[in-house]
Amino acid sequence: MGNSKHDRIAERVAKRVGGEYNPDRGADVAGGGQVTEVEVDPGKLKEGIRQLQGYKQPRYLAVPNELVPEAKEATRGTQIGVRTETGRIVKPARRPGGR
């Protein structure tokens, strides 16, 4: 663990939010009252969004900095937020079912 770009981003986000990186099931990072899915491939952004469905906490898609514009576009009209590779929020999430 920790050698791929995906792992590095997930570990950084987990540390920032006080959560835990679990690559084996569900969202990549859970904790701190939120969940985050990491995607490093622009062709898999929609898959990452699907992974986040069903969670009741605020949901984020974390991507490498160069994919932030595509991630923001892919999550437009959803309650899913976007984080940079360092975990900085660039599009806030809204709680599912909230206003």
21-34 pLDDT per residue, tens: 998 878 999 999 99
Q: Give pLDDT, residue 97.
A: 66
Average pLDDT of the chain, as a whole number: 93
Please state the domain count of the chain: 1
Neighbours of 8 (CB within 10 A): 16
Task: Give the whole-angstrom CA distance, residue 78 versus residue 93.
Answer: 9
Judge whether 18 lies within some domain: yes
Alpha-carbon dihedral sign for residues 78, 59, 54, 45: positive
Q: Give pLDDT, residue 13.
A: 96
Judge whether 98 lies within some domain: no
Judge whether 97 lies within some domain: no
Share of the chain above pLDDT 90, in %: 85
Judge whether 96 lies within some domain: no
**Structural domain boundaries, residue 40:** 5-91
